[in-house]
Structure 1
Amino acid sequence: MRKSVCVIGAGPSGLVAIKELLDEGHSVTCFEHSAELGGVFRAEVGADEAGAYDSTMLTISNYMMTFSSFPPPQGQDRRYWSAGEYRQYLLDFAEKFGLGPAIRYRTDVLSVSRNDSGGYTVEVAPVDDPEGRAAHQFDAVVISTGTHRVPNYIDLPGQEEFAGEIVHSAHYRNADRFRGKRVLCVGIGETAADVVNEIAQVAASCTLSVRRYQPIVERYPGDRPFTNDAYTSHLLHSVPLAAAGPLMHLGMKRNRTRGKTAAARAVAAWNANNPDFFHHFLTKNDAFVHRIVDGTLTVDASGIQRLGKDYVVFRSGRRETIDTVMLNTGYTEDFSILKDVDVTDVRRLYKHMIHPELGTGVVFIGWARPAAGGVPACSEMQSRYFALLCSGKKKLPDRVRLQGLIERQAAYENEVFHGNPDLRTLVHYNHYMIDFAKVIGCSPWRPSLLLDPRLALRLWCGSQTPHVYRLSGPHSDRRTARRTVMSLPPAFTPAQIALTTAVSAVSRVLIRLGLMKADPVY
C-alpha cells in the first residue's frame, strides 16, 4: 500500500522519517525552510534563528545519537561529537540512503488541512517569494519541525524598568558580546550549562538564578572513561525508583567530601539539594560547575523578586548590579500550521506522536525527549512505526484502546517526572524504547538469545544504544547491529553488577511485601 507522505522539516527527526518511509516504499516529499538539512545543527543559521553555538559539544555520546541503521564508523571510541561532527554524520546518513531528492529546500509550510478525498492539503510558499503559494495533496503528513524553534521569553518582575539588554540563549553563538558585562543568567539546562560557563569566564560578574537545583550528571561520571549514557542499562533500570533515588542521594552526600576533584564535589553538593534525582530531567553537562569552583559564578536559588534599572533583587534579599539578562528558559511549541485540531500537550499523543482525532493522517515525530538518552533514537522508533502503519503492516489500536493507552502514558510520565511538570516532551528512555520495540516487533529479547549468551549479557549490562533494536524485526541488520553492540564494553564493573543485581532483587522482595513503593506501570 504505497502512500504519498509529506515530511515537514529536514532535521534529524525529519531525515529518519524520510528514510523509514522510503524503506517501506512510500512516496515522500520533505519541505525544509532553510537551504540545508540538519535542523539546529545546520552550518548556516540566521541571527534570529535558533541553532548550535560555536563551541557546541553534544551531551549525548556518538553511539546514542546515531540511528540504528547507520552506526558510527567501526572502531570509533565512545565520545561526544561536536555540532560539526554530528552535522557531517547527518549529511552522510542522507547520502547513504538517498534522501536528498525528497527534500525541497527554502520552502515554508503555511498550513496543513484535511481535504475532501480523505487526505491532506499542504500549502507552501518559497521563502524568497511568500506570494508564490502552492497547494500539494498528500495521504499523510509528518510534522518534524523540532522543539527548538520558538524561544520561550518569560516575563520577569520589573523588567519594564530594566535599562539593560535581555537576550535568549536560542540566539547565543559565543561569549564575545558579554565581555566585561555584569550578567544575570536565568535558568539552567544542557545548553545553559555551556552558555553560563562561557559567559562567566569573560564577564565582569555572572550570577545564575535557578528555581530548583536541577540534577546534574557529569559528562564522565566518577572520572572514568565512560560517557554518562554508557550507564543506560537494563541492569540499572531494574532497580525501582524508590530504591534508586535514596541510594543516589546517599552517594551524592558521600561525594560532597570524598569526590576525586573539586568539580566532582561541587556536583555532589549541588545534587544533594534535590532528593528526587530520578524524577527530573537530568542535565548531562557539568561545565558551569567549574565556574562555581573558581569563583567566577555565583548561584542564587531563592528566585527573582524584581528587576530595577540596573540591578536584580532576589527573594533572599540579595541585590546584584547587572546590565544584561540571559534567558535560558527553553522553547515553546507552535503547531499553528494545523487547521483541524489543537495540539497543546504532547503527552496527550500516543507515543508522543499520534493524536486520537488525527490517527495516521498527521503524526508528530521528534517530541519524545528522554531524561537520559537521545531524541534521534526515539524519533527513529516513531518513524519505523509510522512507516509500518502507512504500509498496513501495523494497525493502530481502536479509538477506545488508544485513548486508554494515552491516559496511562500521561499518568506514568506525570508521576515519574513530577519534578519538571512543564517539560511535556520527557520520556523514560528504557521504558519508552522497550515498549515501542514490542509494538513494532523489534525487541531483542527473543528465545534465540539463549544461543548467544555473550550478547544476552551485553544487552542486560551494557548501554541501550539504538542499535539493539536492529537485531531483529522489520528491516533488521543483525550482523551490523551485533557488532556495534558488542564493540562497547559495559560501564559497570563486575562488583557493581553484583551489587546492583542484589539491590534489584531485594527491592523486588520488599515491593511484594508491601514495604517499598513499586514503580508506576508504563
Structure 2
Amino acid sequence: MASKSRRVAVVGLGAYGIVTVKNMLEVGFDVVAYDRNEYIGGLWTVTTDPGKTSVLPTTISNQSKQRKSFTDFPFPDDVPDYPTGAQVQKYLEDYADHFQLRPTFQLGTTVTAINRSEKGEKWIVSINGPDSNATEEEFDKVIITNGTFHAPVVPEVPGIDKFGGEIIHSQSFKDPNDFKGKNVVVVGLSNSAADTAVELSKVAANVYISHRSGACILPRINAKGKPSDHTETIALNRLVGYLKAISPRLTRFLYTRAIEKSMYATYPIIDPSWNLLPAPPPTHNIPIINDHVVSHLTDKSIHSVPGIASISSPHTLTLSDDTNLPNIDALIFCTGYRATFSILPPSLDPTAHSTPEYDAAPFGTSVRRHARLYQGIFSPAHPDSLAFIGPYIIISAFTGADVVSQAIAQVFSGAYPPPPQPEIERCGFGEKWRSGALVE
C-alpha cells in the first residue's frame, strides 16, 4: 500500500483519467486530478466550442458496451449494445459518483508545465486555476491521461491558399446544418470521416469523401446478428500474438483477409470505383465502424473520389487522377491529430527522440500514434513516477485504460517495481519496441 502522504497528479479527466483516479485511490495514494474543462468526460461531452474535440448529439459509440465498460462497473442493462454519446457521458458521470471520485477533481484548471524539482525527487506541476491565478503543486508521481486528440493535423495541399470556400478540421465540425445545400469534400477515410460524411449527407447538396488509401468498413452488428467487436477474444489475440512472433508478414496478411471477409459478409457488393480495397492492414489502420456509409455510397448520396492533388481555382480541386472537382464550397479535414506534450521538458517528451520509421510515418497512422515509452506506458527516464495513458493506442479503450492504470498503480506503489534501467532502455528504444508497437 502507498502511504497516504504520497501524492499523485492525474492530468486529464476524460475516461482514462477518471478510471486512473479510482485505481490510484484504491492503493492508497493522495490523488489530485486536473482538467481544463468545467466538466468531466472529455470528448464525450457535447460542446459547440470549435477548439475542443467532442462527439456530436447524434454520435453512437463504435465499441459495444461490453467492450467499452470498466472492469468493475458495467453499463446498465437498459443501455443498447452500442450506447449513444450521451449514454457514455452519463456512464462516466455515474462512475465518478459511484466511487466518490469528485473530491479529487479540480475542474477549469489548466496544467501549464510539469518539471522535476531542484533536488530531482519530486514533480512540480504548474497550474492556472478557474480564477486565472498561477500556482505550483508538488507531487511524488504524475500520470498524463489527456489522450491523443491534441493538435489537429491539416496536411499541406498545393494551392490551398487559393480556395475560396470554408476550410475546417473535423474538430470544428459541430453542426451539419452549417453546410446545408453546399458541396462539401470530406478529406480522409477514417471513422470520423465516415461519421462526418453520413451526417452531411442529410443536408448537403453533394458530399465527397476524398482519400488516397482504402479501408475496411464494418457495421456495428455483424452478419450473424452479434456486435462486430465480440469476434475479438482473448484466445484470438493470443493466437495473433503467437503468429506474429513467427511471421509478422503472414499475421498481417491473415488478419487483413479476415477483416475483408467480415466486410463482404455484410456488404457482398463493394463497387471497385469506391477504392475501399485493398485496405491497409488492420495492424496499421483500424477498420471503420459505420452502419450507413456503404449504403450512402451505393445510392450516391456520398461519392468516393481520389485524394486532392492541388487546388487550381477558388472552388475547383484537382484530384490525384488528374480530374477536376468543381463547385466545391467547403473542405473538412478528417486527418487526425498530433499528440503534443509541451507541458513536459523536451527531454521527457515521449515523441521527442524517435526512430526514422516514426518520423517518416504520416500523422494519423498507427506507427505515428505510438509514443516511445516503456511498455507503451512508462517514461524510460522516470518509470517509477511518470506514466502516460493515451499515446499508446488501446483496443477496448475504457477496459484497456482501466487495466493499464491498475498496472501503473502497482508500479508506483512499489508492489511491482520496474526492471533495471538497461532493460527499460532495451525494450523502449530497441528493435523490440519497433516491432512490437506496430500490432494493436
Q: Offset at 1:403?
A: 1.9
Say if 2:320 is the partner of 1:310: no
Counterpart in 1 of 2:229? 229
Instruction: Count the aligned residue pairs.
Output: 407
Structure 2 residue aligned with 1:411: 434
Unaligned 5+ segments in structure 1 are 417-427, 429-522
Cα distance change on mapping 1:53 and 1:109 into 2, 3 Å: same
> Is the Cα contact below 8 Å between 1:368 and 1:375 reproduced in 2?
no
SS at match of 1:397: coil
Q: What letter matches 2:177 in structure 1? A: D
Inter-CA distance 415–58: structure 2 relative to 1 (3 Å threshold)? closer
Indicate the SS of the match to 1:348: coil
Higher mean displacement: 204-213 or 301-310: 301-310
Q: Please list the CA deviations of residues 429-487 of structure 1 after superposition, one character each: whole Å capped at 9, or x if unmatched.
A: xxxxxxxxxxxxxxxxxxxxxxxxxxxxxxxxxxxxxxxxxxxxxxxxxxxxxxxxxxx
Q: TM-score, normalised by structure 1?
A: 0.73
Secondary structure at 1:52's aligned position in 2?
Answer: coil
* Residue 400 of structure 2: aligned partner: 378
Structure 1 position 169, deviation (Å): 0.7
Is residue 182–residue 323 contact of structure 1 (8 Å, CA) maintained in 2?
yes
The residue type equivalent to 2:417 in the other structure is K
Q: Call closer, same or farther: CA 1:211–1:127 in 2, change over 3 Å.
A: farther
**Is 1:245 the counterpart of 2:250 in the alignment?**
no
AA aligned to 2:321 is: S
Contact 2:213 2:276 in 1 (8 A): no
Amino acid of the structure 2 residue aligned with 1:299: S
CA contact (8 A) 2:160 2:310 kept: no
| Cross-structure match for 1:400 | 422
- 3-state SS, counterpart of residue 202 of structure 1: coil
Query: 1: CA distance between counterparts of 2:46 and 2:251?
Result: 44
The change in CA–CA distance for 1:252 and 1:13 in structure 2 (over 3 A counts) is closer
Q: Equivalent residue for 2:86? A: 84
**Could you tell me how far 1:273 is from its partner in structure 2?**
2.2
**Residues 26, 320 of structure 1: CA spacing in aligned structure 2 closer, same or farther, 3 A cutoff?**
same
What whole-Å deviation, never above 9, does each CA across 1:142-189 have from its counterpart, x for those lacking one? 111121232112221110111111011112123101111111110021
Q: Which residue of 2 aligns with 1:350?
A: 374
Q: Distance in 1 between matches of 2:34 and 2:42?
A: 12
8 A contact 2:36–2:107 mirrored in 1: yes
Matches within 5 A, 1:177-196: 177-196=178-197
What is the CA–CA distance in structure 2 between the aligned matches of 1:251 and 1:365, rounded to whole Å? 27
Indicate yes or no: 2:321 matched with 1:297: no
Residue of 335, 341, 352 corresponding to 2:348: 341
Equivalent residues in 2 for 1:102-181, closer than 5 Å = 102-117=104-119, 118-129=121-132, 132-181=133-182
Contact 1:38/1:87 (8 A) holds in 2: yes
User: CA 1:413 to 1:314, structure 2 compared with 1: closer, same or farther past 3 Å?
Assistant: farther
Contact 2:11–2:145 at 8 Å: present in 1 too?
yes
Structure 1 stretch displaced more, 84-93 or 276-285: 276-285
- Gap change, CA 1:144 and 1:248, over 3 Å in 2: closer
Larger helix share, 1 or 2:
1
Q: Structure 2 stretches of 5 or more lacking a match? A: 245-249, 355-369
Using the TM superposition, give the Cα deviation of residue 139 of structure 1 relative to its aligned residue in structure 2, in angstroms: 0.4
User: Aligned equivalents of 1:30 and 1:245: distance in 2?
Assistant: 43
- Determine the C-alpha separation between the residues in 1 that align with 2:252 and 2:143: 38
- Secondary structure of the 1:351 match is coil
Question: What secondary structure is seen at the aligned counterpart in 1 of 2:114?
Answer: strand
* Partner AA of 2:226 in structure 1: F
Structure 1 residues 67 and 209: CA distance shift in structure 2, 3 A: same
Given that 1:18 and 1:28 are in contact with CA atoms closer than 8 Å, whether structure 2 keeps it comes out as yes
2:11 to 8, 14, 17: 8
* Aligned residue identity for 1:388: Q
Percent identity of equivalent pairs:
24
Partner SS, residue 266 of structure 1: coil
Distance 1:334 1:253 in 2: 37
Give me the whole-angstrom Cα distance separating, in 2, the residues matched to 1:152 and 1:243. 30
CA distance in 2, matches of 1:79, 1:270: 31
Question: 1:323 is matched with which residue: 322, 329, 338?
Answer: 329
Moved more, 299-308 or 212-221: 299-308
TM-score (ref. length: structure 2): 0.85
Q: For residues 307 and 350 of structure 1, do their structure 2 counterparts lie closer, same or farther at Cα, with a shift above 3 Å needed? A: farther
Q: Deviations over 1:113-168 (max 9, x none)?
A: 00034011111112452xx1111100011111121232112221110111111011
What SS class does the counterpart of residue 369 from structure 1 fall into? coil
Does the 8 Å contact 1:214/1:274 carry over to 2?
yes
Given that 2:21 and 2:31 are in contact with CA atoms closer than 8 Å, whether structure 1 keeps it comes out as: yes
The answer on whether the counterparts of 2:256 and 2:281 sit within 8 Å (CA) in structure 1 is no
Report the alpha carbon displacement of residue 72 of structure 1 after superposing the two structures with TM. Answer: 2.1
- Cα distance in 2 between the residues matched to 1:343 and 1:255: 36
Query: In 2 relative to 1, CA 286–270 (structure 1 residues): closer, same or farther, beyond 3 Å?
Result: farther
Residue aligning to 2:60? 57
C-alpha distance 84-145 of structure 1, shift in aligned 2 (>3 A): same
> Over alpha carbons, which structure has the higher Rg?
1
Distance of 1:415 and 1:137 partners within structure 2: 36
Secondary structure in 2 matching 1:201? coil
Q: Given that residues 353 and 364 in structure 1 are in contact (C-alpha distance below 8 angstroms), is that contact kept between their aligned partners in structure 2?
A: yes
| Letter matched to residue 231 of structure 2 | Y
Q: Which runs of 4+ in 1 moved over 6 A?
A: none
- Give the residue type in structure 2 aligned to 1:142: I
The answer to whether residue 367 in structure 2 is matched with residue 360 in structure 1 is no
Q: 1:413 to 1:190 in 2, by over 3 A?
A: farther
Question: Once the 2 structures are TM-superposed, how far is the Cα of residue 248 of structure 1 from its aligned partner?
Answer: 5.7
Equivalent-residue separation in structure 2 for 1:400 and 1:330 (angstroms): 34
Structure 1 residue 47, shift from structure 2 partner:
3.3
* 1:266 matches 2:290: no
Q: 1:354–1:133: structure 2 CA closer, same or farther, 3 Å change rule?
A: same
Shift of 1:28: 0.3
* Counterparts of 1:382 and 1:253, CA distance in 2: 32
User: Helix, strand or coil for the counterpart of 1:124?
Assistant: strand
Aligned-partner residue type, residue 232 of structure 1: E
Question: 1:213·1:301 contact (CA, 8 Å) conserved in 2?
Answer: no
Compared CA separation, residues 136 and 230, structure 1 to 2 (3 A):
same
RMSD: 2.5
Cα offset for 1:31?
Answer: 1.2
Q: Residue 360 of structure 2 aligns with which residue?
A: none
Letter in 2 for 1:108: T
